[in-house]
Structure 1
Amino acid sequence: MVDEDVAPDTDDVERVRVAVYRTFAATGHPPTRDAMAEATRLSRPAVEEALTALAAARHLVMDDDGRIVMAHPFASIDLHFSVKGRRALWWGGCAWDSFAIPNLVPEEPEVLVATTCPACGRAHAWVVTSHGPPAGEQVAHFLVPAARVWDDVVHTCGHQRIFCDERCVEDWLSATGHSRGSVFDLATLWRLAAHWYDGRLDSPYVRREPSEATAYFAGVGLTGAFWGLPD
């Protein structure tokens, strides 16, 4: 029987985190529990404890059945973006995450990101590389402010989308009744994604503190209350 008052070993948690992320990066899918146990040499109960700890620390998102839904920038569900590399095909967790993958996975420095405009349904695709932003007049619209991202992270990621232009953003806001969030160009989206996940496939990995996150946003040109910064 597992003692629920005893926290899992931090080394075990980190080993499971690395197994999840590296499997996602290599295959486009999360590992099974058996695969995690084999890769980490941990028991199934120890793997479960580690996954629970990782979800609590916001390294993973799991559904009510314990399935891994997201390990940013990777997802196991369709959140409107596909990301095709030479060796793997991923669901991108959102616009931000989709543009991050070629910057995070060294074996895939160039990917094809595809999506549709939420307003008009027009298909869009870009070759996104680790060297610089793709050309395009499209704009990203993020609905949920940075401070509220984890209130419902799947909802948040599902509303970090790319639109044809500002007019499509306004049409969508009018149709849905949502308030305008943050709108910015593809170059800014690429800068946001480029180094946000640095080190996530390595070990040990240390998450940014809130002050470091806001400094990062400012450094890529995102300011204002939406991003927790002055205008």
Structure 2
Amino acid sequence: MDTEQVEDVRLVVYRAFASDGAPPSRVDLARRTGLAPTEVDEALRRLHEHRDLVLGPDGQIVMAHPFSAVPLGFSVMGRRTLWWGGCAWDSFAIPHLLPEEDEVLVATRCPGCGAPHAVVVRRDAPPESDLVAHFLTPVDRVWDDVVRACGNQRIFCAETCVTNWLERTRSDRGCVMDLPQLWRLARGWYAGRLDRGYQRREPSAAAEYFHEVGLRGPFWGLPRA
């Protein structure tokens, strides 16, 4: 199997998520790419190994960032499509990735107190909100358990709710940011992901991106400011 065939599968997966809010079936992947079912499985395995998507233990597609096939605390409503947001970061990234979506409605609940929240996320400016986001897992450990890491990138009412949640779950504090900072992080992170030939950022390029959007310190793989 050549790299172009693997890329064909990647594009069908991502574009199906973008248009339908869900991944394609293996039958659809085979039909749309002209590959045999065994070749589709091989392509998905390679994409998983390269961290272009996430497969579950049963081999089913779980995530193709910023899209998710399973609920992880967020729903994202566009003009005609409803997505599961993989995390706070991914939910805020969707309108930046999809040119037809000027804005989306991101809905979630505060893990600290259960209060419901809905935030309009636009492409042209960050939301005005007193809510905060908390990321539990440092970026260099995200892929140790990517589903758990994404499931713990959440939006809270305020820092007090973060503190209460950390005490209740006996978790160490990660990184807290306001929603404008979350918006800046998400804005350009997935640029080009729906295009042929997209390449994920290597660690040095990722660290440079974090620095450019104002994130500092070891949590982001950078020296302390």
- Quote the Cα distance in structure 2 between the aligned partners of 1:49 and 1:35: 15
- The answer to whether residue 136 in structure 2 is matched with residue 128 in structure 1 is no
- The answer to whether residue 157 in structure 2 is matched with residue 168 in structure 1 is no
- Quote the Cα distance in structure 2 between the aligned partners of 1:80 and 1:173: 17
**Aligned position for 1:68:** 61
Please tell me the residue identity of whatever aligns with 2:56.
Answer: D
Please tell me the residue identity of whatever aligns with 1:200.
Answer: R
SS of aligned partner of 1:125? strand
- Quote the Cα distance in structure 1 between the aligned partners of 2:52 and 2:40: 15
- Quote the Cα distance in structure 1 between the aligned partners of 2:213 and 2:192: 18
For normalisation by structure 1, the TM-score amounts to: 0.96
- The answer to whether residue 138 in structure 2 is matched with residue 145 in structure 1 is yes
- Quote the Cα distance in structure 2 between the aligned partners of 1:35 and 1:175: 44
1:141-177 deviation digits (Å, cap 9, x = unpaired): 0000010000000000000001001111111111111
| Superposition pairs of residues 57-206 of structure 1, within 5 angstroms | 57-206=50-199
Quote the offset at 1:206 in angstroms.
1.0
SS of aligned partner of 2:59? coil
Q: How many pairs does the alignment contain?
A: 224
Please tell me the residue identity of whatever aligns with 1:84.
Answer: M
For normalisation by structure 2, the TM-score amounts to: 0.98
Query: Structure 2 stretches of 5 or more lacking a match?
Result: none
- The answer to whether residue 14 in structure 2 is matched with residue 42 in structure 1 is no
Quote the offset at 1:93 in angstroms.
0.3
Aligned Cα RMSD in Å?
0.7
**Aligned position for 2:212:** 219
Moved over 2 A (4+): none
Please tell me the residue identity of whatever aligns with 1:50.
Answer: A
Identity within the alignment, %: 61
**Aligned position for 1:5:** none
| Superposition pairs of residues 25-36 of structure 1, within 5 angstroms | 25-36=18-29
SS of aligned partner of 2:154? strand
Query: Structure 1 stretches of 5 or more lacking a match?
Result: 1-7
